[in-house]
Amino acid sequence: MEAEAAPIVKRLGLHFDDPRIIPGPSTAQSYSGTAHDLTVHLVVNGKDTRFEVDNVGTPAASLTTYLAAQAFKPDLVISLGTAGGFKTKGAAIGSVFVGTSTVNHDRRIPLPGFDKYGLWHCDCIPTPNLQKALKLQAGVVSSGNSLDWVKEDWDIMQQNGAAVKEMEAAGIAWALHYFDIPFFCLKSITDIVDGDRPPQEEFLENLGAAAQALQDTVAPVLEFISGKSVEAL
């Protein structure tokens, strides 16, 4: 979302790509620059042309990721954003998690083969040294296309040990699979999934703080990554 990206764009000194690099009619927008000797491209889904709100969810994330992978041919992708977290996994408002893997919790297809396809479990690259150096929590990132959840979603999240619930990472993983590009996730917590407050209330209340926490984490992450191989993360 624009509110998630803006602090990072400012912190890293990225510039808006004009003319656009990702072709239309996609609404995706990109910002580019150099940080810690790395070439960085930050890509957002842009605004929906019908409802004039941020494009969110796995379809938008998959499309944007596919087009960005074609345009920039990155060596590594980081799925950045805010998310709900589970207090049973140690989440608190503003804490930042590194994704160890991604799954879908709302693609229930009870047919042979399609059940695993719907879940689409995908491992992120291992980042034990990054987690240790920056004292970051880690866990499974579970994606769906609703801000809230129903019992079936909850059951799947519990079965897969979800620590984070959000709306994009599994779609990003799906698209990157076709390019064989390594990736991991950084997710800052806006709301507590297994808490007692509606997620929409906590999300709106804590979006700014979570975006700030994400901004404060991205620069040290890039500094740690700089000059290292994927295997050294």
Q: Which residues are catalytic?
A: 4, 191
For the chain, give the number of residues.
233
Query: In the structure encoding, which two tokens stand for residue 228, read together?
Result: 């290292």
SS3 88: helix
Question: DSSP per residue over 139-203, as a string?
Answer: EEEEE-S-SS--HHHHHHHHHTTEEEEESSHHHHHHHHHTTT--EEEEEEEEEETTSSS-HHHHH
What span, in angstroms and rounded, lies between the C-alpha atoms of 171 and 58? Answer: 5
Q: How many CB atoms lie within 10 A of CB 79?
A: 24
What span, in angstroms and rounded, lies between the C-alpha atoms of 5 and 31? Answer: 10
Whether the Cβ atoms of residue 225 and residue 118 lie closer than 8 Å to each other: no
Task: Identify the sign of the CA torsion 120, 204, 208, 29.
Answer: positive
Query: In the structure encoding, which two tokens stand for residue 46, read together?
Result: 């842009």
- 147, 124, 146: which is closest to 197 by C-alpha? 147
